[in-house]
Structure 1
Amino acid sequence: MGSRSELQVGFYSDKCPFAEATVEAAVVDAAVVNPRVAPILLRLHFHDCFVEGCDGSILITTGVQDAEISASAHQGVMGFDVIAKAKAAIEAQCPGVVSCADIVAIAARDAVALAGGPTYEVETGRRDGRLSSANMAWRMPQFHDSVHTLRLKFFEKGLTEADLVLLSGGAHTIGTTACFFVRDRLYAFMGTNTSDPTISPALLPSLERQCPKDGSPMDRLLLDQVTGERFDVQSLINIKNGLSVLPSDSILYDNNITKSVVDFYSVDKSSFAEDFAVAMIKMGRIDVNTGTEGEIRQVCETVNPMFLLYLQSAE
């Protein structure tokens, strides 16, 4: 895989000067139709980077069997239409120049800014991966992981406990989740018939109303029940106060190291946005393809025709 040093801000300045503006326009247009687009694109970037690196492989849905997106760990990941629209517009300007992986990274940055979060410069120069398999997603962080497992999965990607808190609990300042992911916390915690005792009594009745025991597992609720429509540090304050929704967020207060990070941002709120941006940049460097590695896919949903023919001939 390529070195992060081969990424650079403004990689397309000469080759495709309007690339980033084109992605931003696609994100803004999508937000008009779907106000949830910001957390959707943020999650898409996270899921792409944590499986085989930030290579756009999660976008590959045709021409392969058991595509990466079919993995259970990617359940509910969306945003492909926004990336496809941006890619098509860029290809009309600069064919074969801008990777799908870079478009995902730029779109996530623009989505965060659109939700009131920090603006930051995205390093670009990634090339697209050619492989897509559900089996590759087995080390994806999941909602039921212990804090020990989450730490290990982040360490494997060169990320710290602070990055874990920022990119997991902190990123949940915006967006929604399905009741499927919280039902055990409410009705069968640790195999019992009771709720998670760390859930604040002030929050529990509301969660039970939004996700009744006999309700649809696909009903959705805000990840941040206090200021869920705005990008801020509230999701970390929620963890401290027993007001977090997902189990993978609440357990960040069970470990001394991650607890100290949560406590820090709960007090020093001004540092959250800046440090979140730094963590996003750091995540965007995970196992990237650069130089002559990978390819620049013509269409994000499939590898380029010549490589696809090679794969088919090898079967």
Structure 2
Amino acid sequence: MAFSKNSFGVFVLQIMVLALLSLHAEGQGLKVGFYEKSCPQAEKIVSTVMSDVMAVAPSLSGPLLRMHFHDCFIRGCDGSVLLDSPTRQSEKFSPPNLSLRGFNIIDKVKLALEKACPGVVSCADIVALVARDVTVATKGPYWEVETGRRDGKVSLFADPINRVTGLPPPFANITLLKQSFAMRGLNTKDLVVLSGGHTIGMSHCSSFENRLYNFTGKGDTDPSMDQNYIARLKLKCKPRDQTTLAELDPGSFKTFDDSYFRLVTKRRGLLESDAALLNDPETRAYLIQSISHGSTFFKDFGVSMVKMGRIGVLTGSQGEVRKVCTKTN
């Protein structure tokens, strides 16, 4: 992405201002076992519902994991991505979130929790717990989820697509990715570790179509992508295809493992943001380490997920605990 000197200066200034705000991964007020007294069966209830869901719909694991990321990166981990809007002006209807699935699963978990402990467990915490449980269900790592988040009351269509503070787009280069994570208190290691969640993800062909058909506007392909892989992708994804989904980790997208990193090192990362991990010494070194016998990816993923789960949280008397996740009280 090209910037003029003036626009780059404004870009940096906005980042500096944002860094002074409360979106950093601090998480005061969160703790493991927050509901131990108020709803002692909370995590068990979430786990039971998710076991049933994963048994019949394992393909929802990726979208439900990504939902936590999309929630935390916009306004912090406050459940704002779940809110409906009669005029379609909430985050849920913003372009980057149109591919999210599983909102009905969050509602299902909430319903079960409301029956056991009315008005106690927040929707923001449900999203965090579900992200952990779908990871475990796909043979990924287990980590202790800090809870105690409260639900936000604001959700704006424009936030996820804000040029500076929005969700990092699939065409983001390594510089933009590092800046996006840094402004939220996450470092370069968190960036590459959390990118590993793509091992159970899928993407619409439209998110990487330019890499196959028109990378520089001249009808060419992306030279940084393996040409044999491009040929295979073209069989699945035709020009202007807005509906077809492709696996981010072909052959292993229902299993949480390190094969995503192997693909990226072979220049088979599906998105430009995946391929960008090869363009930084620290992220590239982690990719190589993660496909070696000394990999710490599973442990690191849990650590980075906890850290991400602290971004901009509402606790104490802030926000509310919604009765229904799709609307404020």
TM-score, length basis structure 1:
0.91
1:42 aligns with one of 65, 69, 79: 65
Q: Which amino acid aligns with 1:267?
A: S
Q: What's 2:8 paired with?
A: none
Q: Which runs of 5+ in 2 are unaligned?
A: 1-21
Over 3 Å counting, the alpha-carbon distance change for 1:62 and 1:193 in structure 2 is closer
Candidates 167, 172, 183, aligned match of 2:209: 183
Which amino acid in 2 is paired with 1:291? Answer: G
Q: Is the 8 A contact 2:289 2:295 kept in 1?
A: no
The answer to whether 1:151 aligns with 2:205 is no
Is the contact between residue 65 and residue 133 of structure 1 (CA under 8 Å) also seen in structure 2? no
Partner of 1:313: none
Contact preservation (8 Å) 1:226, 1:234: no
Counterpart pick for 1:128 among 151, 156, 165:
151
**1:270 Cα shift?**
3.2
- 2:81 aligned residue: 58
In the alignment, which of 47, 52, 67 is matched to residue 29 of structure 1? 52
**Alpha-carbon contact 2:200-2:249 (below 8 Å) kept:** yes
What is the 5 A alignment of 1:216-231?
Answer: 216-231=241-256
Alignment partners' CA distance in 2, 1:263 and 1:270: 9
Partner of 2:13: none
1:277 paired residue number: 302
**Alignment-derived partner of residue 287 in structure 2:** 262
TM value normalised by structure 2:
0.88
| Aligned ranges 1:105-124 → 2 under 5 Å | 105-124=128-147
Task: State the alpha-carbon separation in 1 of the partners of residues 151 and 314 from structure 2.
Answer: 7
Q: Equivalents in 1 of 2:170, 2:249: separation in Å?
A: 15
Q: Who is 1:310 aligned against?
A: none
Q: CA, structure 1 residues 268+5, in 2 after alignment: closer, same or farther (shift >3 Å)?
A: farther
| 1:239 matched to 2:250 | no
State the 1:58 CA deviation: 0.5
Give me the whole-angstrom Cα distance separating, in 2, the residues matched to 1:179 and 1:21. Answer: 37
Q: What is the aligned counterpart of 1:250 among 275, 282, 287?
A: 275
Q: Distance in 1 between matches of 2:252 and 2:169?
A: 24
* Offset, 1:64: 6.9
The DSSP-based 3-state class of the residue aligned with 2:296 is helix
Distance verdict in 2 for CA 1:62–1:92, change over 3 Å: farther
SS of 2:35 mapped into structure 1: coil
Alpha-carbon distance, 1:177 to partner:
1.1
Q: CA separation of 1:178/1:269 partners in 2, compared to 1, >3 Å: closer, same or farther?
A: farther
Give the letter for the 2:31 counterpart. Answer: Q
Q: How many residues align?
A: 302
Give the whole-Å Cα distance in 1 for the aligned partners of 2:267 and 2:173: 17
Alignment pair present for 1:203 and 2:193: no
Q: Where does the alignment leave 5 or more consecutive residues of structure 1 unmatched?
A: 305-315
Indicate yes or no: 2:174 matched with 1:166: no
- What is the deviation of 1:218? 1.2
- 3-state SS, counterpart of residue 177 of structure 1: strand
Q: Tell me the SS of whatever aligns to 1:52.
A: coil
Letter in 2 for 1:294: G
